[in-house]
Amino acid sequence: METEKQTLIERYATTIKAVAVAILTLMLLIPLAMIQSLIRERQNTRQGAVQEITSKWGGEQTVTGPCLVIPYEETRVEDKKEITVNKNLLVLPELLDAKISTRVEKRKRGIYDTSVYGTDIVLSGQFDGSVIARQNVQLSQVKWGEVRMIIGLSDLKGIKDNVLLQSNGQTIIFDPGIPVENLATGSGFVAGTTSSRDHMNSSYELFSVGLNAKMDFLKPDSALQETFPFTVSLKLNGSQGLYIVPTGKTTTVAIRSDWATPSFDGEFLPRTRDIDKTGFSAEWRVLDLNRSFGQVIRSDDGNTINQMASSRFGVRFIQAVDQYQQNMRSVKYGILIVLLTFVAVFFIELLQKRPVNPFQYVLVGLALVLFYTLLLSMSELLGFNFAYLTAAVMTTLLIMLHMGSILKSRKNGFLVGTLLAFLYLFIFILIQMESYALIVGSLGLFAILAVIMYYSKKVKF
């Protein structure tokens, strides 16, 4: 009976070994999943460091305006009584021209860094007071002493110098805050992207914070008919992104920067752009016909101001490479590398008749999994490409030498190492590709499967 048992086990030894290798491969999904969790944890740690830097320097900036706020009184009859209601009109400029120059630099917190910028912005253009008369507002209704020019900003901590308004030969210094009654703040939504985890799902507001300047020089007898120019100078610090809201009936924006990897974002793309190793320049031209709001808005009209918020455009100063995203993509291919390496060792074992202890499969599997922790830790310091090369060489040499010793053949060890090097190169190419990754990966796997099918004919299960 014992002889029959042994004969039965020996008869199906290859099948039992294949099942054991398959089970071990599936078990290695557990540490691979743990590594994915570790990548997300490190990514969140980096995001926390970035937020700490930007909270002190200045966050993403959205510039809205300048806009004129025209306060007026409206008389209503309710329950046979006359009631005076205070209201505001938001008058947008006829022309808005923005000249923007930015200088980007990196700030570090521990091993993490983020891009921050300093920018000089000159906003110039003109207002047409005659548009107010089309809103059925009389001179006597307007509170001329409370007329203000306002500018919405995202983060006042980023202001580096006094903000000056020049108009009609006068220079006025802006004050902080937007003291306008019943002004809808307006909100927009930023959808996260896969290319950069810095660009998280978030919302922004136009007039939650900002600046204001009293327009004392406006005279009641001519304000509704005249066109007057303005120039506003801003010096700002910010990070990650810089946006402009196209408030002008004709809005032109020109941005120049020393950042070589910009991401143009928002509702409108630049009409012209020039990008090289020294930086970029871009120009936009947006007409009122391109947007869904007019030149005069009631300050409590939240829907229209939300439409203003959704019309912003600009540029994000993103890192050219996101090592965490690339680490995550590489781990997703981890089970493929483990499986193909085990298959290669299994075939060599059977064809060369050199048995390999299951414990050695475990050691090889652990070495393959350890590759991803090496890759993650080194990519934070060295960048993804160099870290991938270093971790791949270390892992390949370790497994090649180990398998050469176990199989008692340098040739077989070199064969395993060559296969592993090819797999790492193949996965690296897939990670670098985006549009063609699926087709190249599918063709590569098809070719690998064909090779496995060819050699499997020689194996008796």
| pLDDT tens string 154-194 | 889 989 999 999 887 888 899 999 988 888 887 877 665 44
Q: Looking at mean pLDDT, say which of 250-259, 314-323, 377-386 comes out highest.
A: 250-259
Higher pLDDT, 118 or 199: 118
pLDDT over 80 (residue 427): yes
Please state whether the predicted TM-score (pTM) of the whole model is above 0.85.
Answer: no
Residue pLDDT, tens place only, 186-219: 787 766 544 444 444 567 888 889 999 988 777 6
Average pLDDT for the chain: 83
Q: Is the CB of residue 217 less than 8 Å from the CB of residue 145?
A: no
Based on the number of CB atoms within 10 Å of its own CB, is 4 exposed (0-12), middle (13-18) or buried (19 or more)? exposed
What local confidence, expressed as pLDDT, does residue 193 receive?
Answer: 47
Distances in Å between the Cα of 210 and the Cα atoms of 63, 77, 170, 175 are: 9, 35, 21, 9
The H-or-E segment that residue 317 falls in is: strand 313-317
For 157, counting Cβ atoms within 10 Å of its Cβ (0-12 exposed, 13-18 middle, 19+ buried), the class is middle
Asked whether residue 8 carries a pLDDT value surpassing 80, the answer given is: no
Whose tokens are 């306060």? That residue is 71
Buried b (16+ CB within 10 A) or exposed e, 324-350: bbbbbebbebbebbbbbbbbbbbbbbb
Between 448 and 270, the more confident residue is 270
d(CA 64, CA 178): 12
Pick from 46-60, 70-84, 388-402 the range whose average pLDDT is largest: 388-402
CA atoms within 13 A on the CB side of 104: 24
The pLDDT assigned to 130 comes to: 75
Q: What is the reported pLDDT for 10? A: 61
Longest dimension (CA), the chain: 117
The helix or strand, by DSSP H or E, that contains position 109, with its residue range, turns out to be strand 95-109
Residue 92 confidence class, pLDDT cut points 50, 70, 90: very high
Please count the other Cβ atoms lying within 10 Å of the Cβ belonging to residue 219.
Answer: 9
Question: If pLDDT is split at 50, 70 and 90, which confidence band does 461 have?
Answer: low
Mean pLDDT of 394-409: 87
User: Taking 60 as the threshold, does the pLDDT of residue 6 lie above it?
Assistant: no
pLDDT band at 51 (very low <50, low <70, confident <90, very high): confident
For the chain, give every domain's residue range: 2-42+324-456, 60-319
Reported as a pLDDT band with limits 50, 70 and 90, residue 140 is confident
pLDDT digits (tens, 9 = 90+) for 339-386: 888 888 887 777 777 777 788 888 888 999 999 999 999 988 888 889
Give the per-residue pLDDT at 195: 42
pLDDT, position 325:
85
Confidence of residue 1 (pLDDT cuts 50, 70, 90): very low
